[in-house]
Amino acid sequence: MLLCSASVSLHFDLLMCVLLCTQEELLVGAPRVLVTGATGLLGRAVCREFHSAGWTVIGTGYRRARPRLLRCDLTDEDAVRGLLHEYKPDVIVHCAAERRPDVMERHTEAAVNLNVHATSTLAKEAATCGALFLYISTDYVFDGRNPPYGEDDSPNPLNVYGRSKLEGERETLRHCPGAVVLRVPVLFGEVESVTESVVTSLYLKVQEASEESCTLDHVLQRFPTDARDVAAVCRKLSERARQDPSIRGIFHFSGKEQMTKYEMAVAIAQAFNLPSSHLIPLTEQPAASALRPINSQLNCSRLELLNLSVEPRPFTSAIIDCLWPFTPDKRWRQTVFH
């Protein structure tokens, strides 16, 4: 039976073999991790990270589920219960979520079903089957008025997305007291298309140099973070928590470079030797259906003190890693085969 996620980033498929977990592998005692949202940006990175560390990886998806993923509707309690009963994971990394704040303002009920109710079900079942539950949350649980924020600072989300993730945290810790909650900021990484991440989508704005000027937010402070680094932290947390029950509760991880969307776009332009004069900083907070915190910087010292953090990749080198397959001259194809 096929249990593992394939690498679904289009260019990454050329760089590694499809991950296949066989019954034989299950018998050798490798720890098992179930990754929800394995078709997504973070879920793919988590699957690759755990697989490379020798874990048996069980990836789940739903609407975008592929042949080598298990298709599961996480809002179906019976389906979730059956999934965990059959595959008996040692660790569950819950990456699946509706992460688009503006979408959540318009489709609140469906998004809350995934971000809150599905999380509650998974936490209950994880506690029942004895699996470590690792819930991915967000810096948007804070209002951005008094950064940096530690794990014990009082949340005050400004939008439906932040409130739903905060409620997911509370459901996680209520039903599964030994769980781990990992808050992270805006993510980017190896994408299937440049529009998959808010960060990589800025590449399209950079490429509009021959068109009219393009205004970009220069107010909201963000800390873009590579999904590969988050995946590594998830693995380190999982490995330590399985041995040490004191590793529980809330942790923060974030990139260290503070940047607005405008600054990210300029950095992307410089990384690829493209013009940026058409990019215009917008110094008034942009209109959007969902309010966003001005600066929700996370204090990550708890992870660092426990030696469970990783050094975040510099933004410039990381963004080149993510976007080089989409450069117009396609020179990357030569680097794959030669």
User: Is residue 328 classed exposed, middle or buried when 0-12, 13-18 and 19+ CB atoms within 10 A define those classes?
Assistant: exposed
Cβ(4)–Cβ(39) under 8 Å?
A: no
Token match 């019954």: residue? 23
| pLDDT of the residue at 14 | 28
pLDDT (tens digit per residue) in 276-314: 999 999 998 777 778 999 999 999 999 999 999 999 999
Q: What is the largest CA-CA distance in the chain?
A: 60
Residue 54: C-alpha distances to residues 28, 51, 300 (Å):
11, 5, 27
More confident residue, 91 or 73: 91
Does the pLDDT value for residue 335 go beyond 80? no
The mean per-residue pLDDT over the stretch 228-238 comes to 98
pLDDT (tens digit per residue) in 134-187: 999 999 999 999 999 999 999 999 999 999 999 999 999 999 999 999 999 999
Q: Is residue 217 part of a domain?
A: no
Which pLDDT band, with edges at 50, 70 and 90, does 6 fall under?
A: very low
Q: Is residue 180 part of a domain?
A: yes
Q: Is residue 56 part of a domain?
A: yes
Two tokens, residue 109: 């009920």
How does DSSP classify residue 149? B
More confident residue, 16 or 263: 263
| pLDDT of the residue at 85 | 92
| pLDDT of the residue at 10 | 34
Cβ(242)–Cβ(308) under 8 Å?
A: no
Q: Is residue 253 part of a domain?
A: yes
Compute how many other C-beta atoms are within 10 angstroms of the C-beta atom of residue 337. Answer: 6
| CATH of residue 26 | 3.40.50.720
The mean per-residue pLDDT over the stretch 193-201 comes to 93
| pLDDT of the residue at 211 | 65
Residue 168's domain comprises: 12-195+224-258+290-313
Cβ(5)–Cβ(38) under 8 Å?
A: yes
Which pLDDT band, with edges at 50, 70 and 90, does 330 fall under?
A: low
| 256-260, 291-295, 334-338: the lowest-pLDDT one | 334-338
| Residue closest to 87 by CA, chosen among 114, 62, 65, 56 | 56
| pLDDT of the residue at 65 | 53
| pLDDT of the residue at 28 | 59
User: At 191, which helix (H) or strand (E)?
Assistant: none
Two tokens, residue 120: 């509650």
Instruction: Tell me what percent of the residues of the chain surpass a pLDDT of 90.
Output: 72
What pairing do the DSSP bridges indicate for beta strands 91-94 and 32-36? parallel
Two tokens, residue 6: 């394939």
Mean pLDDT, rounded, of the chain: 87
The mean per-residue pLDDT over the stretch 76-84 comes to 93
Residue 209: C-alpha distances to residues 205, 214, 254, 266, 291 (Å):
8, 9, 31, 12, 29
Does the pLDDT value for residue 19 go beyond 70? no
| pLDDT of the residue at 72 | 87
Q: Is residue 319 part of a domain?
A: no
Q: Number of folded domains in the chain?
A: 1
Cβ(251)–Cβ(296) under 8 Å?
A: no
Q: Is residue 331 part of a domain?
A: no
Does the pLDDT value for residue 75 go beyond 70? yes
| pLDDT of the residue at 38 | 93
Q: Is residue 188 part of a domain?
A: yes
| Residue closest to 94 by CA, chosen among 168, 162, 29 | 168
Q: Is residue 61 part of a domain?
A: yes
